Amino acid sequence: MIPFLAALQFLTLASPIVRRPFTERELGQAAGFYPLVGVLIGALLYGANYTLALIVPDALRAALILALWVLLSGALHLDGLLDAFDGILGGFTPQKRLEIMRDERIGAFGLSAGVILLLTKYAALSGFPQSAPELILIPALGRWGMTLAVFAFPYARPEGLGSAVKAHITWKQVAPASLTALFAAWVCCHWLGLIALGSTLLLVWGVSAFVLRRIPGLTGDIYGAINELVELALTVIFAAWQFAPLWI
């Protein structure tokens, strides 16, 4: 249970249950539970969306769901997205890009990326129905994308939390994480969920390949950006599917 609790405490605002520092091995093992934490976040979003659809207009429901989505993760991944865009797009050398990502200040690239992401996600959520099991799946696949990125691609720095996770993640974590993602995809959305699963794989590979052309490896900020970009892409895909009868 310790690795699961480590994942829960790291990825959400849940109150600490284990009141001691986690070991590096536990942090690596926690990556196997990232999609499960995403399922739990998604279940809360699903319940909130179902309830809010009964009492508020669609636009307000989408805004409240988006706010809850950001709040449940403590804006951890959104912060990573802002830093990642500032660094990857703003520096002229790999070292400078890494330095920019360490800077807590938000630049033009990060601010623009954050605003565009939130506006697009809000617009997509406004088209979701009252019963939207895809809200359970999307956070799960976003965090599965992080697990894949940690395992499959090099880490840019010799130190840091991401380095500890990278050093101790193995197939023993990737396999259960992938099974969780596959199970959630099929149960929530059937064959459309499998399309979302494949889309996640392509997006993780594409983003990581682009990043590796700019810096020598991924970072914690890049992991957060991958989660946000996967969630954004899947939210748009599922929103577009609601209007499929109009254009198929």
Instruction: Provide the number of structural domains found in the chain.
Output: 1
pLDDT tens track for 97-110: 999 998 888 899 99
Q: Are 140 and 43 in contact (CB under 8 A)?
A: no
pLDDT score of 161 more than 80: no
pTM of the model: 0.94
24: in domain: no
27: in domain: no
pLDDT of residue 33: 97
Q: Give percent of the chain above pLDDT 70.
A: 98
Q: Which residues contact 78 (CB under 8 A, 6 or more apart)?
A: 70, 114, 117, 224, 228
**Domain region containing 120:** 40-238
Alpha helices in 73-170 (DSSP H): 76-90, 94-102, 108-125, 134-152, 161-168
54: in domain: yes
75: in domain: yes
137: in domain: yes
